[in-house]
Amino acid sequence: MATRLNTRAAAAKLSWQIIDKGVSLDAAITTHFETTDASAQDRGFTQELVYGVCRWYGELDAVAKQLLKSPIRNKDRVIHFVLLVGLYQLRKLETAEHAAVGETVSACKQLNKQWAKNLINGCLRTYQRNPIELPGDQNRLSHPDWIREAIENAWPEHATSIFVANNKRPPMCLRVNQMFSDRANYLAQLNDVDIPAAADPNTGNGIILDQPCPVTQLPNFDQGACSVQDTAAQIAAELLAPAPGMTVLDACAAPGGKTAHLLEQCNNRLDMDALDISERRCEQLHATLARLKLNANVYAADAAVRSSWAVPTAGYDRILIDAPCSGLGVIRRHPDIKHHRRPSDIDSLISIQAKLLDQLWPLLKPNGQLLYTTCSILPDENIEQIRRFIALQNDAMLTPLSHPNAISLEYGAQTLPGVNGMDGFYYCLLEKKAH
């Protein structure tokens, strides 16, 4: 059936699966594209519609409710998402209105809901005649109440900027593999194939593309010339800065971006252990390392259980804990976080983070350094986690770190979406005192 769906029908079905059924956005899109023979243009448009509905669901849903005389029955909920797809085109895109309406109405038949054509046509035509304006800030509206309140409590001065950034399309950022080429050379290669780009001012090897493109269009991507990685994620390896020959642990490594960056910095001359609790994600990690021609000892292991992998007798010179977290700093890249994350998740994540810190600290050599990082902007997962940890460890010493576009905190530093052009990441570098 998937091969016969037009872009609007596909987008409605995928959005329904993501928002109502809890399927991850990445998984839904990947599965759909694996089973469809759609053109690159249709794939791109389908993806735009799905991301758009996930980003702007709060606003679109509020408008839809005003247009519908009564809610659509649960068994026909996919039709509600057909309406949202139509509204997204009319409100947010420059799609020709006749196509936005006509093709969206056609989606009803493709989804075996022929009866809904008149309903969707009526709603979209009504909207065309009288576009509905909602009171207040639509960026704010398009966040669940608990996420909105958490951000406003944590960052009152920056909350509006964060809401706006979370609903924007993020830039596509690259990290040049310094073992393959330098940044200036790779920028020239991009220019040769008409991919406009600029050096990222916040990182040593980062590049920001003017427009996203498939990785297949990037020069020598399959040969390991570069990786796709946000600026904020690139900063982590630069802060930890291991030296060649060191023993390093990346405790939550998959899909391998930071593992690879650490190895690239040292010309692949690290004794690197890379862990992930998921065997499937370890396969991604192996694939990342293979493409970039890098070497690491990969373990499908729980970093909080020391017996689950072969810990070096002498311990580690450097440890990276890229801890499982709420992901509230990367909503612009993963808008399904708004729909899948729950307030109850936070306490369990905080518990996992604390356990990782407590269990991995003894594996760090004296004078060694541990970088704790998350892609969250919630203090409970970040500064308060470190405050708790330092109170318990008499040999943990805070290493000052600063970055021109990060906010310096009592413990560590924080980037925020909308404040610095990056994703929201927290970093704290700790050093173990020698006895």
Q: What digits encode the pLDDT tens for the residues 23-76?
A: 999 999 999 999 888 888 999 999 999 999 999 999 999 999 999 999 999 999
For 302, how many CA atoms within 13 A lie in the half-sphere containing its CB? 7
- Are residues 40 and 101 both part of a single domain? yes
CA nearest to 250, candidates 237, 235, 266 = 237
- Are residues 131 and 244 both part of a single domain? no
**Taking the mean position of all CA atoms in its chain, how far away is CA 16?**
20
Identify whether 150 is part of a domain.
no
CA nearest to 390, candidates 347, 431, 434, 426 = 431
- Are residues 258 and 386 both part of a single domain? yes
Q: Which two tokens stand for residue 21?
A: 């059924």
Q: Is the pLDDT confidence value at 232 over 80?
A: yes
Of 86, 112, 135, the residue at which a domain comes to its end is 135
Identify whether 166 is part of a domain.
no
Q: Is the pLDDT confidence value at 79 over 70?
A: yes
What is the Cα–Cα distance from 303 to 326, expressed in whole angstroms? 18
Identify whether 161 is part of a domain.
no
Of 136-140, 169-173, 330-334, minimum mean pLDDT range: 136-140
- Residue 204: domain span: 173-228
What is the Cα–Cα distance from 411 to 357, expressed in whole angstroms? 15
**Helical H segments across 230-306, by residue range:** 231-240, 257-265, 279-292
Taking residues 188-201, report their average pLDDT.
96
CA angle, 398 as apex, 424 and 239 as ends, to 5°?
50
Residues 6 or more apart from 314 whose CB is under 8 A from it? 247, 365
What pLDDT, on the 0 to 100 scale, is given for residue 123?
Answer: 97
Mean of per-residue pLDDT scores for the chain: 95
Taking residues 190-215, report their average pLDDT.
95
- Are residues 213 and 281 both part of a single domain? no
Identify whether 154 is part of a domain.
no
Identify whether 325 is part of a domain.
yes
Taking residues 5-28, report their average pLDDT.
96
Peptide bond into 242 cis (omega under 30): no
Of all residues in the chain, the percent with pLDDT exceeding 70 is 99
262: helix, coil or strand? helix
Q: What is the pTM of this model?
A: 0.94
Q: Which two tokens stand for residue 24?
A: 């991850």
132: helix, coil or strand? coil
DSSP 306: G
Q: Is the pLDDT confidence value at 177 over 60?
A: yes
- Are residues 306 and 214 both part of a single domain? no
Give the CATH number of the domain where residue 205 resides: 3.30.70.1170
Cβ proximity of 394 and 382 under 8 Å: no
Of all residues in the chain, the percent with pLDDT exceeding 90 is 91
Q: Which two tokens stand for residue 405?
A: 């576009």
Residue 370 φ/ψ, nearest 5 degrees: -120, 130
Number of domains in the chain: 3
- Are residues 60 and 186 both part of a single domain? no
Q: Tell me, what amino acid is at 32?
A: H
Query: Containing H/E element for 243?
Result: none
Identify whether 245 is part of a domain.
yes
- Are residues 199 and 222 both part of a single domain? yes
What is the Cα–Cα distance from 281 to 70, expressed in whole angstroms? 44
- Are residues 301 and 381 both part of a single domain? yes
Cβ proximity of 109 and 116 under 8 Å: no
Give the CATH number of the domain where residue 7 resides: 1.10.940.10
- Are residues 61 and 195 both part of a single domain? no
Of 181, 200, 228, the residue at which a domain comes to its end is 228
What is the Cα–Cα distance from 384 to 46, expressed in whole angstroms? 41
Identify whether 258 is part of a domain.
yes
What is the Cα–Cα distance from 120 to 85, expressed in whole angstroms? 11
- Are residues 209 and 329 both part of a single domain? no
Burial (CB count <10 Å: 0-12, 13-18, 19+), residue 301: buried
Q: What digits encode the pLDDT tens for the residues 388-430?
A: 999 999 999 999 887 888 999 999 999 999 888 899 999 999 9
Catalytic residues: 375
Identify whether 109 is part of a domain.
yes
Cα-based torsion angle of the residue sequence 343, 77, 331, 324 in order, rounded to the nearest 10 degrees: 50
DSSP 76: G
Cβ proximity of 356 and 304 under 8 Å: yes
- Are residues 180 and 120 both part of a single domain? no
- Are residues 349 and 419 both part of a single domain? yes
Q: Is the pLDDT confidence value at 1 over 80?
A: no
What pLDDT, on the 0 to 100 scale, is given for residue 37?
Answer: 85
DSSP 95: -
What is the Cα–Cα distance from 309 to 45, expressed in whole angstroms? 44
What is the Cα–Cα distance from 230 to 420, expressed in whole angstroms? 12
